[in-house]
Amino acid sequence: MEVMSNRHEVMWLDQARIEARKHVSLRYLKGYGSCVLFILDLSESMRGEGIQSLKQGVTDILDEYSQHPELAENIAVIAFGKETKFLHYYSNDYTALKHTIEHLECSGPSPLTAAMLLALGGLFEGSAHTAVVGDFHLAPRVVIFTDGRLTDFTDEDAIEQDEDSIPKHSILRALFSIVNRIGQHHPIYCFPVGNHPDRALLATISSKSHDGQLLEIHRARWLGRRTLHYRGADIAYRVTNQTRIERGILRNVVEYYMSWQTYGDDDLDTIDEILSNKTRILARQETEREEPEDKYFKEKYTTVPSLGTRVRRGPDWTQDNQDSEGPGTIVGHGDHEGLVYIQWDSGMLSLYGYGYKGIYDVVVCEEPRYPEDGLAAVGCFVRRGLDWKWGDQDGGAGSIGTVYRAMDNATVYVRWPCGRKGNYRFGYDGKFDIDVW
């Protein structure tokens, strides 16, 4: 069962990378506002009340976005059921998005895990961007509409569970593994819909992300105003220079400075909460900006290959098909000498031995990565680009470095032969510090 799960996980990660490249190529369709990824359950058990509530909730959110076009919010849509796929790539064409939602129908199983794996194609690898609202940085949000009646994502003929049954441990383990990965950087909002939805499961999913919440369907419009809440908090602070302000003053700020006539007490409560927690929120943002130097991306030892080194499975390989039988890239050194973090070209990242206790899971190879779409991905060899402005940080003109980290803001981290490492633009703000060699 574990081997089957790994094989299907790799398959969906491969598809996610394809989708990420498609998102990047369609970047011109996006506005500058925040990115929101809908994940919609179209399985058999969602027939009737479930699909109607889903359509109403999504439409309510889109209506809110339509009322504030200046925010240029971007929506992408994944559906899971008989098929699991992107129905719509990021766009602020809300009319087209509504048309997509109107014609949805339900059938098949409920492979939420596959949908979450595919969601990486709409969150990482430059597929989405972090929006800036004053001092606040809004990471792409994930919004799930489902009844939570899961099926095994490795079984295409799976039948949905009865409403009173508990998902198998193997199904939950695979689901929470990817939920934890997404939730580290992206808030996850879950709407329980349909007959007898599993609220406990969906509450657990949302709780595994910072700022995630379990929301009832009547709060869809509130979620559609999420960016406005941060905008209100930012304006209120700039006007008063206070994180604690009276209700009447907050109301005046919203009406006078934002020209926001249709709002409720829950909106004022939310703005007040953001304002009160401004210091904590900004501190978290600062920590996340420093994240590329976390445990995965540090170069610690001279006795193992450096970051950016290309590798393949070695003589002591016992990890089934984690590498998809292809090459990968060392992206960090482990906590013990002889252990290295490797990201395979298929997308999976894990820890392997390179001499640790005499074990060599991998060996060095000389196989640069050649992406078909020309985008800089982990493992690509790169050199100075048209917008290079970093002097001889690369060791001098003509130096060839290797990408060891691709960010979701159209920048990449490169390790140069001279040993220096840096973050460079590859599409960010239309600039290209480096080119794929």
| Residue at which a domain ends, from 248, 263, 289 | 289
- Specify which of 28-32, 349-353, 378-382 reaches the highest per-range mean pLDDT: 378-382
Residue 345 DSSP symbol? T
| Mean pLDDT value across residues 265-278 | 94
Give the 3-state secondary structure of residue 242. coil
Q: Are residues 62 and 196 in the same domain?
A: yes
Segment 51-66 mean pLDDT: 96
- For the residues of 150-168, what is the DSSP string, one character each? ---TT-TT--PPPTTPPPP
| CATH at 166 | 3.40.50.410
3-state secondary structure of 420: coil
Residue-wise pLDDT tens digits, 177-212: 899 889 988 999 999 999 889 999 999 999 999 889
Asked, for residue 125, whether it belongs to a domain, the answer is: yes
Concatenated DSSP letters for 362-417?
EEE-------TT----TT-EEEE-TT--STTTTSSTT--EEEEEE-TTSEEEEE-T
Position 67 pLDDT exceeds 80: yes
Check if the beta carbon of residue 160 is closer than 8 Å to that of residue 44. yes
* Residue 99: Cβ-neighbour burial (10 angstroms; 0-12, 13-18, 19+): exposed
C-alpha distance from residue 16 to each of 6, 231, 410 (Å)? 15, 32, 17
Domain boundary among 224, 256, 275: 224
Q: Which amino acid appears at position 105 of this protein?
A: E
User: How far is C-alpha 397 from the chain's CA centre?
Assistant: 35
Containing structural domain, residue 314: 293-364
Distances, alpha carbon 168 to alpha carbons 3, 152, 235, in Å: 17, 9, 48
Q: Using pLDDT thresholds of 50, 70 and 90, give the confidence band for residue 163.
A: low
* Residue 412: inside a domain: yes
Instruction: Please tell me the predicted confidence (pLDDT) of residue 370.
Output: 85
For 21-69, give the DSSP string: HHHHHTGGG--SS-EEEEEEE-SGGGTTHHHHHHHHHHHHHHHHHHH-G
Quick one: 154 and 58 in the same domain?
Answer: yes
Same domain as 316, residue 285 = no
Average pLDDT across the chain, whole number: 88
Q: Is the pLDDT of residue 132 over 80?
A: yes
Q: Tell me which DSSP letter residue 430 carries.
A: G
Residue 371 lies in a domain: no
- Is 373 within a domain? no
The answer to whether residues 142 and 73 belong to one domain is: yes
Confirm if 82 and 19 have CB atoms less than 8 A apart.
no
* Statement to judge: residues 281 and 317 lie in one domain: no
301 in the same domain as 274: no
pLDDT tens-digit map of 319-346: 777 788 899 999 999 888 999 999 888 7
- Asked if residue 375 lies in contact with residue 126, where contact means CB atoms within 8 angstroms, the answer is yes
pLDDT of 292: 44
**Domain annotation covers residue 369:** no
Residues 219 and 359 in one domain: no
Which positions ≥6 away from 267 have C-beta within 8 Å?
222, 225, 228, 229, 232, 254
* 304/265 same-domain check: no
Residue 10 lies in a domain: yes
**pLDDT grade for 171, boundaries at 50, 70 and 90:** confident
| Dist CA 29 CA 74 (whole Å) | 9
Q: Are 31 and 114 in a shared domain? A: yes
Given 364, 390, 418, the domain boundary residue is 364
The reply to whether 217 and 258 lie within a common domain is no
In a domain, 370, yes or no: no
Does 284 lie in the same domain as 185?
A: no
Task: Say how many domains are in the chain.
Answer: 4
Predicted TM-score of the model (pTM): 0.70
Asked if the structure places residue 20 within a domain, the reply is yes
Residue 168, pLDDT above cutoff 80: no
Q: Give the number of other Cβ atoms within 10 Å of residue 126's Cβ.
A: 23
